[in-house]
Amino acid sequence: MAPEELHVEATLIKKAGDALDYATFEQILQMDDDEDEREFSREIVFDFFQQAESTFKNMDTALGERDLEELSSLGHFLKGSSATLGLTKVKDSCEKIQHIGSRKDETGSHDELDDDKSLEKLDGIIKQTKKDFEVIEKLMREFYEA
């Protein structure tokens, strides 16, 4: 790897902080045939961006419809995708969405029987997840110079 590529990756790691598990993301980068183009990993990451945007819209709809089960399902779905890329903050928040949507607390260890309380928590967590996503999306777009 050329020194300038190492600098770009080091900058990404520094800026992302605890929002990115670089060891996991690096596994995706290793699948690229051409490190200069990064075509394979770029496609995976940009497909994730579209998937996340669609999932957030569906979360907003489910929140408006007070559909805890759907929110749990959507949280589970986005948790898996974000974990694959090493997007730790997004993954952790989606896990909370999954648990709360299943009428549990954020950790999934205690029952929560008050749907209004759960929906209020979910509203705040979804908003924070979107912010965390926007930060990592911006960094990834800079990384891929898109």
Residue carrying structure tokens 């569906």: 58
Domain ranges of the chain: 3-143
Name the CA radius of gyration of the chain, rounded.
17
Give the model's pLDDT for residue 3.
44
What average pLDDT does this structure show over 84-97?
A: 97
What are 59-90's pLDDT values in tens digits? 999 999 999 999 999 999 999 999 999 999 99
pLDDT tops 80 at residue 4: no
Q: Judge whether 130 and 56 are in contact, CB under 8 Å.
A: yes
What average pLDDT does this structure show over 31-45?
A: 88
**Between 13 and 95, the higher pLDDT residue:** 95
Give the Cα-Cα-Cα angle 4, 10, 12 (nearest 5 degrees). 110
What are 99-144's pLDDT values in tens digits? 999 999 999 999 999 999 999 999 999 999 999 999 999 999 999 9
Residue 122: CB partners within 8 Å, gap ≥ 6? 63, 68, 71, 97, 100, 101
Global pTM? 0.89
Q: How many CA atoms lie within 13 A of 17 on its CB side?
A: 6
Give the model's pLDDT for residue 15.
85
The CATH code of the domain at 3-143 is 1.20.120.160
| 104, β-bridge pairs | 111
